[in-house]
Structure 1
Amino acid sequence: MISEDGLLVGLDIGTTKICVVVAKVTEGKVHIVGIGSHPSTGLRKGVVVNMDSTVNSIKKAVEEAELMAGIKIDSCLVGIAGAHIKSFNSNGVVAIRDKEVRLDDVARAIDAAKAVAIPADRELIHVIPQEFIIDDQDGIKDPIGITGVRLEVKVHIVTGSVSSAQNIIKCCKLAGLNVDDIILGQLASSEATLTPEEKEIGVALVDIGGGTSDIAVFLNGSIKYTSVLPYGGNNITNDIAIGLRTPLEEAEKIKKKYGCAFANMIGANETIEVPSVGGRKPRTLMRKTLADIIEPRVEEISSLIYQEIKKSGADRLLASGVVVTGGCSNLEGIPELTENIFNLPARRGYPIGLGGLVDVVNNPIYATGVGLLVYGFKNSKVRKRTFNKGNRFVFMDFLNSKKLLNRMRDWFKEIF
């Protein structure tokens, strides 16, 4: 988490890029002091498929961040994503021992909520309290000190594949990094891009990366639904490569430079130069031809995301609309097309509420990396994980420690 000199390091291991963001916490604010980024070739849809390539990419991104920040990086917070991520809501009920809710009552209720059957190949990543109910009075954010007989807590549980998490940890260790914590990608992105007001009245965060689209729905100030779809910017790049008969590397460059997800926004006479394959001469094509390839794919991905959000039952409660972030959100026309699909207001999600090198990270592609720092800062007084010999996540049990009780009290004040 936060080092003795106030430093935080976030490592975003993505399908197309690996990003390291370094920040220093001063005066209760996260100040960006360094950043490093390197193309990622060892992952597919958020899952490690080539260990050596991933390790080398992490090392190069870390070296770049170390050079900019002027520090030595030896530990980090890591984001996790991929189609293996599954989540669901649960609840737990306990009797209040002394007729007044205390921290140990809250801990017992959360333990009861997470006492669900989880397959042996999966493990808990997050158990996030949504709200507390005391004697049928719901909507309670901080139950400490309230008198009652029955305490119920509603939580959002996120699980992931054991092997996928272990591979990420192994890659970090081989790159010389200790893993302080593993954090869900869209949860981190939400910390960097969403405002408290948006979370309160209802908002959907959509983080469209290279290999996956990560979804998170917030309402009444807490997370209600998360999901991951195995579709992203790489699908668009593949369509461009096939449709324009150009190499994948060139297709990615064309997408970033000339791509548009809303064909109606393109002028009638705009042209682009497209490299050919097999040593043939480059061709000049209308830019609208490129948009006609991109728009159907983005529309398909957006429609799948919308259908996924409808499963949460909150599609009609998103008064703040949709916030689209991640590298793919930089495509021209993404917010406009999203508004058409969802029939809700949409905007791009840029990292907000930061200090330091703000201009350097003022891009949706850094939302997860920056969000890891913000999440780590907000929760540094509370959460602490360790790993057993099998690298399985276990929560350290300090329930009898006054130190933990103070941490939990601070946690409720910060989150709620």
Structure 2
Amino acid sequence: MEQTRYPKHMVFGLDIGTRSIVGTVGYRENDHNFTVAAICVKEHDTRAMLDGQIHDIGKVSESIAFIKKELEKELDVTLTDVCIAAAGRVLKTITVRADYEFQTETYVTDVHIHSLDLLAVEKAYDNIREEMQKENIDFYCVAYTPVHYYLNDYPILKLDDHKANKISVELLATFLPEEVIDGLYSAVEKAGLQVANLTLEPIAAINIAIPEKFRMLNIALVDVGAGTSDISITRDGSIIAYGMIPYAGDELTEAIMQKFLVEFSVAEKIKLACLKKKTVTYKDIMGISHKTSIEEVKEALQDTVSFITKNIADKIIELNGGKTVSAVFVVGGGGKIPGFVETLAHNLELSKERVALRGEEVLREVHFLPEKIKKDPLLVTPIGICLNYYEQKNNFIFVNVNGERIKLYDNNKLTIVDAAIQFGFPNEKLFPRRGKAIQYTVNGQTRMTRGELGEAAVVKLNGKETGINTPIVQNDKIEILESTTGKDAEIFISQLPEYQSTIEFQFNNKKIICPKFVVANQNLKSEYYSICHGDCIEILNYYTLGQILEFMDLPYQEDIKVNNVYASVDDKVYENFSIAYGNINEMSFRDLNVESLDTALIEDNVEQTSFNRENTTMGAVETSYHTNTTQTTNKEIHILVNGQRITLKGKDKYIFVDILDYYEFDMTVARGTSLVLKVNQQSAEFSSSIENEDVIDIYWEE
């Protein structure tokens, strides 16, 4: 063949099966076809693989090297990269839902959708780790498929360019153990190749056998190989489930071995003879020659075929939510055994026409340059592996996170966040964390004061500080210093908006000013008391008459009136109430020892408050009693945050971070590569001061 007949870049795919390895080289000229330039098949010389799992890496590597050499010789090219697929021998699938909410209505971009998918993958990782923590097995996500997207909680096929307040995804994530992936990589690399793309065998098969236009239907695809039967199910336009059973063509071969007393390779030839001959001649392990009819072979396989198809049918029903599917497509060599599709149809309670082998009819857009190749169900998965390279160029890469080498499934969109997730770095330690909040009640109303925000995680990529959404590539070195927790919440009684330090009464037509009582958990407290979590604060807006008299250092008399009504010592006197007290001379009123209230009413744990009074006569000016402590000014300001008007109150001065106590802004999930803070269109920090009528902007930026 002439080199000029092939494009510069061709895709090399390997279907590393239990019984054989199929190497395919081809290229795509447009989105609707694929040209196969060459195919090479090599059966394993030994049982190097069992049930889709590599057991002898060296032997498998030798077979891969043989196929590589043969294809290079036929095409006169050098093959360096290869696409492979992993069997679902120990496949784990998890379906999760993730939501992504915007601060304001936003046009959805590819970046938003990718971030949404990663949130779902992270949830799936958490689930698989929790499920497998006792097994001590590391699982890797080798593929994920969005099942449904939602726009503001309504199902939608594509999110791109829509405006939304909230987007969601229901995602199917697929995991394999580390040793399965490592075995495949080792075998390929020992043969002198690099993995360009990794997919799952059921994904490769379904992309060929069930085009998207059919996926609105509830269809199952069964890829019957030698060691495993891989299952995929579609419904409502999506792939909804993957599964596997560890029974396939090898069970049929072993049944022939038992029946006819032959070794494995001879049994394989007898099995294949079922597809094209009427009789078969063989030698058993005793060296005796035999000739048997294909009907006798079929009869020997009947129980095994029933066993395998019953297990496949049960798995399909389990994956499909407890009910059968509408139709089944079968690919792979094991499904070609006479009676296989008919028995599967019976076990699924479907008509024979609803279960069919898929070969030539699904390979119509595949052109084979070698004339000797026949379109066959055996070729569906090998060609699907090549085509997956164009659909989703995936691979594993290695990066270094905080000195530890980790492996990541590369979907061409990897960022530092992905590496942090795989490393097991807690999501909450990437973003600023608030100190502990305190919750309490004031006059029966529940309040909460939030702690201060800490600093975001410090992230370095190859020694340079960067953002957590920075893209990464092979061998990058990542350093992550976890975020800090801010100061725990603290609030004093004096900072409560409704707190005023004094209360006024009219005593014999003169104004007296008394300290306001505050009770915390039934104990009197001063304005300097630091409120604790769970405190019940009561700010009293009254004195009892007895307390006022004690404050005035006067005895009780029966003719005392409050608001012109005779009152007892237990009657409540509210602010600005008038008290009429007889038989008090000017001098005794002026020389009252008001400090006695402090020791009488306030416990030892409260700062002693002293009261001073002006040295004036009753008839000349008002007599005033007041605390000698400096009062906290509760300054109230009004600002505009992202177009929303809010009021800050309870402090003398305000800084940018105070806004977060009044304005909802989620700092725990990054919505971009950097957080933008602005005051009156000027860049700001969390510690920047805020004044009345300032215009504030806070948002994530790519």
Do both proteins adopt the same fold according to a TM-score greater than 0.5, normalized to the shorter chain? yes
Contact 2:80 2:194 in 1 (8 A): yes
* Structure 1 residue identity aligned to 2:273: K
Shift of 1:93: 0.8
Q: Is 1:386 matched with 2:397? A: yes
Q: Any idea what SS the aligned residue of 2:227 has?
A: coil
Q: CA offset at residue 225 of structure 1? A: 0.7
Please identify, of 287-296 and 75-84, the stretch whose mean Cα deviation from structure 2 is larger.
287-296
1:411 alignment partner in structure 2: none
Q: Residues 131-150 of structure 1 correspond to what in structure 2 (within 5 A)?
A: 131-138=148-155, 140-150=156-166
Matched, 1:365 2:368: no
CA contact (8 A) 1:6 1:25 kept: no
Report the CA distance between 1:275 and its aligned residue: 2.1
Specify whether residues 248 and 233 from structure 1 end up closer, same or farther in structure 2 by C-alpha distance, changes over 3 A only. same
SS in 2 for 1:231: coil
Cα distance change, pair 358–34 in 1 and its aligned pair in 2 (3 A):
closer
Give the C-alpha shift of residue 192 in structure 1. Answer: 1.9
Q: Are residues 1:5 and 2:8 paired?
A: yes
Q: CA deviation at 1:285?
A: 3.1
Alignment match, 1:375: 388
- The yes-or-no answer on 1:122 pairing with 2:129 is no
Residue number in structure 2 paired with 1:263: none
**1:18 maps to which of 18, 21, 24:** 21
CA distance in 2 between partners of 1:235 and 1:317 (Å): 25
Q: What does residue 230 of structure 2 align with?
A: 214
Q: Distance in 2 between matches of 1:296 and 1:373?
A: 36
Task: Give the C-alpha shift of residue 271 in structure 1.
Answer: 4.7
**Contact between 1:35 and 1:69, CA under 8 Å: does it hold in 2?**
no
1:187-226 equivalences in 2 (<5 Å): 187-226=203-242
Distance in 1 (CA, whole Å) between partners of 2:180 and 2:89 is: 10
- Paired residue for 1:397? 414
Q: 2:114 aligns with which of 107, 115, 131?
A: 107
Secondary structure at 1:149 match in 2: strand
How many residues are paired up? 386
Residue 202 of structure 2 aligns to a residue whose secondary structure is helix
Aligned: 1:52 with 2:65: no
Aligned counterparts of 2:322 and 2:42: Cα–Cα separation in 1 = 36
| Amino acid corresponding to residue 378 of structure 2 in structure 1 | I
The equivalences for 1:7-406 within 5 A come to 7-28=10-31, 29-40=33-44, 41=46, 42-99=48-105, 100-116=107-123, 117=126, 118-119=128-129, 121-138=138-155, 140-258=156-274, 271-280=279-288, 282-313=289-320, 316=323, 318-319=325-326, 321-344=327-350, 345-350=354-359, 351-352=362-363, 353-357=365-369, 360=373, 362-380=375-393, 385-388=396-399, 392-395=407-410, 396-397=413-414
- The Cα shift of 1:216 comes to 0.6
Report SS of the residue matched to 1:114. helix
Q: Is 2:84–2:385's contact at 8 Å kept on the other side of the alignment? A: yes
Q: CA RMSD for the aligned pairs?
A: 2.4
Deviation of the 1:391 alpha carbon: 6.7
**Identical residues among aligned pairs (%):** 19
Over 3 Å counting, the alpha-carbon distance change for 1:67 and 1:361 in structure 2 is farther
Does 391-400 or 155-164 show the bigger shift?
391-400
Considering fraction of residues, name the structure with more helix: 1
Structure 2: segments with no counterpart, 5+ residues: 1-5, 130-136, 416-468, 472-702
Deviates more, 1:388-397 or 1:286-295: 388-397
Question: Is the Cα–Cα contact under 8 Å of residues 6 and 26 in structure 1 kept in the other structure?
Answer: no
SS in 1 for 2:163: coil
1:346/1:315 CA distance change after superposition, 3 Å: farther
What is the Cα deviation at residue 244 of structure 1?
Answer: 1.4
Tell me the residue number matched to 2:448. Answer: none
Q: Which range moves more in the overlay, 164-173 or 355-364? A: 355-364
After TM superposition, give the deviation of residue 337 of structure 1 in Å: 2.3
The corresponding residue for 2:502 is none
Distance in 2, matches of 1:213 and 1:181, equals 22
Change over 3 Å in CA distance of 1:182–1:384 after alignment to 2: closer
TM-score, structure 2 length as denominator? Answer: 0.52
**Aligned-partner residue type, residue 347 of structure 1:** A
1:229 to partner: Cα distance? 1.2
Task: Decide which moves more: 202-211 or 25-34.
Answer: 25-34
Counterpart CA distance in 2 for 1:305 and 1:291 is 20
1:332 shift after superposition = 2.5
Question: SS of 2:261's equivalent?
Answer: coil
Deviation at 1:97, TM superposition (A): 4.5
Contact 1:94 1:150 in 2 (8 A): yes
Secondary structure at the aligned position of 2:8 is classed as coil
Distance 1:239 1:332 in 2: 15
Task: Give CA deviations for 1:125-174 in whole Å, capped at 9, x if unaligned.
Answer: 01211110112211x12101222222110111000010110111011111
Q: Give the secondary structure class of the aligned counterpart of 1:26.
A: coil
3-state SS, counterpart of residue 133 of structure 1:
strand
Shift of 1:286: 4.0
In 2 relative to 1, CA 77–315 (structure 1 residues): closer, same or farther, beyond 3 Å?
A: farther
Provide closer, same or farther for how the CA distance between residues 75 and 252 of structure 1 changes in structure 2, counting only shifts above 3 A.
same
Map Cα deviations across residues 234-288 of structure 1 (whole Å, 9 max, x no partner): 111011011112222111101111269xxxxx9xxx65434222222x2233433
Rg: which structure is higher?
2
Q: Deviations over 1:317-340 (max 9, x none)?
A: 733x11111111222232222222
Distance 1:361 1:79 in 2: 23
Structure 2 counterpart of 1:179, one-letter code: V
Q: Does structure 2 retain, via aligned residues, the 8 Å contact 1:37–1:64?
A: no
Structure 2 distance, partners of 1:88, 1:357, is 41
Structure 1 residues 149 and 322, CA gap change in structure 2 (3 angstroms): same
SS at structure 2 position matched to 1:143: coil
Flag structure 1 segments of 5+ consecutive residues without an equivalent. 261-265, 402-416
Report deviation, 1:69: 2.8
Post-superposition Cα deviations, 1:212-240, rounded to whole Å, max 9, x if no partner, equal 11011111221111112111111110110
Please tell me whether the aligned partners of residues 233 and 320 of structure 2 are also in contact (alpha carbons under 8 angstroms): no
Q: Distance in 1 between matches of 2:162 and 2:261?
A: 66
TM-fit CA distance, 1:37: 1.3
Query: Per-residue deviation at 1:343?
Result: 2.7
Deviation at 1:27, TM superposition (A): 3.3
Q: CA deviation at 1:108?
A: 2.1
Q: CA deviation at 1:96?
A: 3.0
Q: 1:225 and 1:367 mapped to 2: Cα distance?
A: 19
- Residues 104-142 of structure 1, C-alpha deviations (whole Å, 9 max, x = no match): 32122111111132335111101211110112211x121
